[in-house]
Structure 1
């Protein structure tokens, strides 16, 4: 939360902030997330405008998770810019927009968590990779392809023919 009383409501007044809040719980996606308590780095400029407070800046965060192909640990840095208008109560923006369309100043406070969360989460990879050419896991045994012999393979039998194989004891090639 940022208190807007520190720079006033006169259009044109502004104030810069550098903040290092801890990341809240649940700050991530399925395969990658910012750990709870991990410091976020916020460089902000708050500007008073006629309708409210315009907040612009950057957020930096370190995310960690698992490779989507081989499940090895991966890390990723999010460094993204954002700009959000927080409308004053009873402003022209308040009457011309839906309640969830524009963020609002609550009293004299601005809650940046939803904006920061949305900004960081949309910048993270939905399927992070340990390397662009990661071959992943063998679908037959689950071992990592990079650790397997190049000749590694599994005999796959169409399940529709498996009952015949069991009944007659294999194929001609096996006899």
Structure 2
């Protein structure tokens, strides 16, 4: 498994009714997001995942938590310079 997002599920395949909960912290391998705000490469992400074995496959559900950072360029008023401010916000996905 090369991806930090990959989980081993072989033991749940073809075992309808079996369930496993996984809680894991990973290092984000590449920037997640677009534009001015994103979860940066190297930041921490926490995953709470529930894996449920079904007859047809495996149902995966869960939550991811990470801190997204970025900047916003404030519009200048007359005779003022543009200011850059940082935004830090916890986003629940």
Q: TM-score, normalised by structure 1?
A: 0.42
1:72 aligns with 2:77: no
Task: Determine if contact 2:13/2:57 at 8 Å carries over to the other structure.
Answer: no
Aligned to 2:55: 50
Aligned to 1:10: 15
Higher Rg: 1
Between Structure 1 and Structure 2, the one with more helix by share is 1
Task: Determine if contact 1:31/1:68 at 8 Å carries over to the other structure.
Answer: no
Aligned to 2:64: 59
Stretch of structure 1 that moved more, 45-54 or 19-28: 19-28
Task: Determine if contact 2:24/2:46 at 8 Å carries over to the other structure.
Answer: yes
Aligned length: 80
Between Structure 1 and Structure 2, the one with more strand by share is 2
**Structure 1, unaligned stretches of length 5 or more?**
81-175
Aligned to 1:36: 41
Task: Determine if contact 2:23/2:49 at 8 Å carries over to the other structure.
Answer: yes
Aligned to 1:109: none
Matches within 5 A, 1:1-150: 1-69=6-74, 70-80=83-93
**Structure 2, unaligned stretches of length 5 or more?**
1-5, 75-82
Q: Deviations over 1:5-35 (max 9, x none)?
A: 2334211111010011111213121111111
Q: TM-score, normalised by structure 2?
A: 0.76
